[in-house]
Amino acid sequence: MNIQAAEATTPLLTISGARATIRLNRPAVHNRIEPADLVKLGEHFAAVEANPEIRVLVLTGTGKSFSSGYHLGDMAERPNADVTARADAPSFEGVADQLERLRVPTICRLNGGVYGGSTDLALCCDFRIGVDTAEMFMPAARLGLHYYPSGMIRYVSRLGLNAAKKLFLTAEKIQAAEMLAIGYLTEMVPAAELDARVDALADRLAAMAPLAVQGVKRSLNEIARQEFDVEGAIARAKASQASEDLQEGLRAFREKRAPVFKGR
């Protein structure tokens, strides 16, 4: 029996201090995402959202690839399945949107290639650190598929219209250097440096004032979607001004030491 296939599971959640890690775990099929994985991802995202101790989430994959995207066999078997979010069952779009809207900052640890719908999962994260051997492509047009709305919005708002058109309309595969150039990758590193760089960024994010980080993240995502709630942003700004964390930050600045934020 193939050992990798025997070890395949739905995504795994681990928590260490203020950091949560979700790992896609079907390495024999390049971490293909199946219907059961959508359910489990939704559960994991909800658990992260509900845990006030968590300040950063890392999303990654087992093996040589980040993810080969959604299971095409399921799409073939269910041609009438909803392509967009629905209230009574998870959809790929719904789970992706849930990831984008998480209160905590998120890092996608791109340990290898990323394809199809999983390119959007990575775009849902706030940062994407990838190995210099990574590659990506969006095969929707080659498969005859019109993509779901929020995924196209993310592509255009994060990468720009020209890059989105190239990736969607040509289904052309691009390499890590171009992924970095168009803004898909936040950083590109050799494989040997991937964990250290992800750890450093996760530690830095976890050390920031959580109320400020989470509030600003929400506001920036609203702006990107052209859904900016100005009154909500003002309320979050006022709450940060009245927070214990701001007082701690100011004291630490005066005392020339690292602040210790409590999230209140």
Residue 105, Cα to own-chain centre: how many angstroms?
9
Which three-class secondary structure state does DSSP give residue 79? Answer: coil
Cβ distance 117 to 69 under 8 Å? Answer: yes
| Distance set, CA 91 to CA 35, 70, 138, 220 (Å) | 8, 11, 18, 25
Scan for tokens 């992706």, then name that residue. Answer: 96
CA 264/CA 206 separation, integer angstroms: 15
User: 């995924």: which residue's tokens?
Assistant: 151
Banded model confidence at residue 259, pLDDT cuts 50, 70, 90: confident
The model's pLDDT over 180-238, given as tens digits with 9 standing for 90+, comes to 999 999 999 999 999 999 999 999 999 988 999 999 999 999 998 889 989 888 988 88
Taking 70 as the threshold, does the pLDDT of residue 82 lie above it?
A: no
DSSP notation for 215-226: HHHHHHHHHHTT
Q: How far apart are CA 108 and CA 122, in angstroms?
A: 6
At residue 255, the pLDDT reads 80
- Per DSSP, helices labelled H in the chain are 3-7, 35-50, 72-77, 92-100, 117-124, 140-143, 149-159, 161-170, 176-181, 194-207, 210-224, 230-241, 244-255
- Residue range 105-119: average pLDDT? 96
Contacts of 76 by beta carbon, 8 Å cutoff, 6+ apart: none
Instruction: Say what the pLDDT of residue 258 is.
Output: 84
User: Which pLDDT value is given to residue 200?
Assistant: 97
Instruction: Name the amino acid, one letter, at 237.
Output: A
